[in-house]
Structure formats: C-alpha cells, structure tokens
Structure 1
Amino acid sequence: MKKFGLLLAGGSAAIVAIANFGPMIGLAISAAILYYAVKGFLRTESTCKKIFWVLIGLAALGATLSNMPALFGVVAIGILYLVYKKWNEQPSHTQTPEDPFTNFEKQWDALRQS
C-alpha cells in the first residue's frame, strides 16, 4: 500500500512538473536577467547607465513575478526527489542481519549446562 501511495504522489508531482516546465524556464531566464541588472546597477557610476539598468531590472522583475506559478513546478520536482528516495529505501529490519554465531553460542552453553 505504501508503494501505491508513493506511485500516486510521484505521478501527480510529475504531471505538475511537466505542466510547469515552460514557466520554470521563463522564471530562470528572467531571474538571471534581474540578477545581472542589479549587478550592473551596483557597478556603474553613470546616472544614464543607472537609469538603463533600472529599466532593465523593472522589466525583468515583472517577468519574474509573472512566472511565479513555476514555483509549483519546483516544489513538484522536490516531491519527485523525495518519492524516489523513499521508493529505493530499504526496510529497517533487513538492514542489520543477526549474527548466526550468537544463537549457536547460546545453544552450546545450554547443552553444556545440562
């Protein structure tokens, strides 16, 4: 039943991630342009160039804010990663096998005492 729940969560997350793939690319590009606009604004000393970088930054900020639904896609990719990790996880009771000689020593001691 646990695998079915993981399959259902992973399938839903995959559909959301695929549906938001375009906006995620737009978000990444507009955020990169915004980053370089801020760096250009901070580096320049000319008033004319500062105005230019502010205009570029405002346009990039508008594009970044319009692509905010892409965050659903980013969250869906994170959920897919968690589902993948849980799917390949070993059960805890099979990770530490018992030492076969421990049981043998207990039986041997019981035979020697009787």
Structure 2
Amino acid sequence: MKRCLLFVVGLIAFIVLLAMIGPMILLGVGVLLLYVIFKQFMKSESTAGKIGWVITALLLLSTVVASNIYAVIGLVAAYALYVVISKWRNNDHVLEGKIGEDDDPFTNFERQWAELNK
C-alpha cells in the first residue's frame, strides 16, 4: 500500500514538473540576467550608471522573476519527486536487509531450502 501511494505521489509530481518546465526555464534565465545586472552594477563607477542598473534590475525582477510563480510550484514538485525517489530506494534497501540476518549465502540458502520443504 505504501509503495502504491509513493508511486501515485511520484507520478503526480512528475506530471506537474513536466507541466512547469517552461516557467522554470524562464525563471532560470531571469535569475541569470539578474546576476549579470548585479555584476554590471558592481563594475559601474558613476552614480547615474548604478541607478540605471538598479532600475533595470527592478524592472526585470517585476516582469520576469516575480510573475513566474508557477516556477515555484515546479520547484516544489521537483523536491517532492526527489523525496519520493529517496523513500522508494530506502524501502528497497529495507526489503533487501530482511532476507537474512547473516550475510553468508549458504546460511540463507539452507534456511530458504528448509522453508520450501515444509
């Protein structure tokens, strides 16, 4: 039951992530442009140049980055998918660990053979 629920949550997160890949790319481009503007702001020596770069950054922030709230939903879906995959892998290790207390393959074989003969 737990694996089925993990699968359903993972599938939903994957579909949401695929649907939000466009806004996530635009958010990444906007953040990259903000970084370039910040670098130009630091290079600028005049006050008018710095004011110009701040105005440009605010315009970019208000149009590209702040309007892409769907990208945040995509990031949450990506995190949810990461958590589901890590829990899925953790369950696989737990199931493998329950085969036998001893790692000796002959002991496990003898025990399993005895269970089959019952």
Structure 1 residues 8 and 58 mapped into 2: Cα distance closer, same or farther (>3 Å)?
Answer: same
1:80 paired to 2:81: yes
Further displaced range: 38-47 or 11-20:
38-47
Contact map agreement 1:31 1:60 (CA 8 A) in 2: no
Q: Which runs of 5+ in 1 are unaligned?
A: 101-114
* Aligned 8 A contact 1:10 1:79 in 2: yes
TM-score (norm 2): 0.73
Q: Name the larger-Rg structure.
A: 1
Judged with a 3 Å threshold, the aligned counterparts in structure 2 of structure 1 residues 37 and 87 are, in CA distance, closer, same or farther, namely same
- Structure 1: which amino acid aligns with 2:43? R
* Structure 2: runs of 5 or more not aligned: 105-118
Q: State TM-score, norm by structure 1.
A: 0.75
Calculate percent identity across the aligned residue pairs. Answer: 38
Q: Please provide the CA RMSD for this pair.
A: 2.2
* Alignment partner, residue 16 of structure 1: 16
How many residue pairs match? The answer is 101
